[in-house]
Amino acid sequence: MNRISIVGFALVASLICSNASAQDAALSTDDISGDGNKMAIGGYVALGMAHEVGDYDDAKFRFAGGGGAYFDFHLTPLLALEAGLGIVGKGAREEGTIEEMGYVADYEARLKFTYLTIPLGVMLSIKGLQIGAAWELAFALAGKSKSESGDTEIEHKWDGDDWDNFRRFNMGPRLRVGYAIPVGPISIVPGMYWSLHVLNEYKDLDDDDFDGNDDDSIRAMNIMFLVAVEFGL
């Protein structure tokens, strides 16, 4: 074999190795940590809107916040199991006009709940894009109602009998989308998620004792924008 053949062979081998290395590097960035790690943990803060959908016709969106942590275990570079633990505000806002005995006044009422949430699901990661689907378990830790009309303000923290007709444990789907931006050893992940309870918030809506209609439904929904920080393990 002459010198030219040896040099040509070396160049071809070098190109093949370089291409394989590039493919491996691209594949490793498909996972959540961006560096080929099998597992990752993350923490996030969220701000968005809470609402109660269904037959609560006067309900309006209200601001809500939250935060939490999650753990990902990659079955493949594209697919991971995901579990989390978080705190989030739920509820709704109502406003209108009271007309009674010739008295007319505007009012605003807010219903606020603080929930502990446990989402369990899967996450698909494609070149930094994350798409997650989970079943979320939710438990109401605290509740508060507040109403304002003119100079009058009434605030009440829920306890004891206040919870008798309320379903404190609920569950439902949670969908999330985000994009991982590698920054040194971590990834910054801006994104958003949507969640919805599948069970009625109030127990008496499950029968016809409420208003003669057994099809009434009031369920909590959230649309939250979040920023997460992830670490590969």
- Is the per-residue pLDDT at 11 higher than 80? no
Residue 57 has what pLDDT?
74
CB 195 within 8 A of CB 222: yes
Q: Distances in Å between the alpha carbon of 3 and those of 7, 9, 13?
A: 6, 10, 16
Residue whose entry in the numeric block shows the structure tokens 């109502």: 94
Q: How many residues does the chain have?
A: 233
Beta strands in the chain (DSSP E): 39-54, 62-74, 79-100, 103-126, 129-149, 152-157, 169-179, 181-183, 186-196, 218-232
Confidence of residue 26 (pLDDT cuts 50, 70, 90): very low
- Is the per-residue pLDDT at 94 higher than 60? yes
Residue 29 has what pLDDT?
39
Give domain limits for the chain: 31-232
Give the bridge partners for 182, in sequence order.
187
- Is the per-residue pLDDT at 187 higher than 70? yes
Q: Which of 10, 35, 38, 12 is nearest to 24 (CA)?
A: 35
- Is the per-residue pLDDT at 4 higher than 80? no
Report the C-alpha gap between 222 and 52 in whole angstroms. 9
Confidence of residue 160 (pLDDT cuts 50, 70, 90): confident
Burial 206-222 (b: 16+ CB within 10 A, else e): eeeebeeeeebbbbbbb
Report the C-alpha gap between 156 and 97 in whole angstroms. 21
User: Mean pLDDT in the chain?
Assistant: 82
- Is the per-residue pLDDT at 59 higher than 50? yes
Report the C-alpha gap between 61 and 31 in whole angstroms. 35
In the CATH scheme, what is the code of domain 31-232? 2.40.160.20
Instruction: Tell me which of 37 and 31 has the higher pLDDT.
Output: 37
Residue 110 has what pLDDT?
87
| Least confident interval from 44-48, 63-67, 204-208 | 204-208
Residue 70 has what pLDDT?
97
- Is the per-residue pLDDT at 27 higher than 50? no
CB 103 within 8 A of CB 112: no
DSSP structure class, residue 150: T
Residue 208 has what pLDDT?
53
- CA-based angle 78:82:83, to the nearest 5? 175
- Is the per-residue pLDDT at 196 higher than 60? yes
Residue-wise pLDDT tens digits, 106-117: 778 888 999 999
- Is the per-residue pLDDT at 168 higher than 80? yes
Report the C-alpha gap between 91 and 51 in whole angstroms. 6
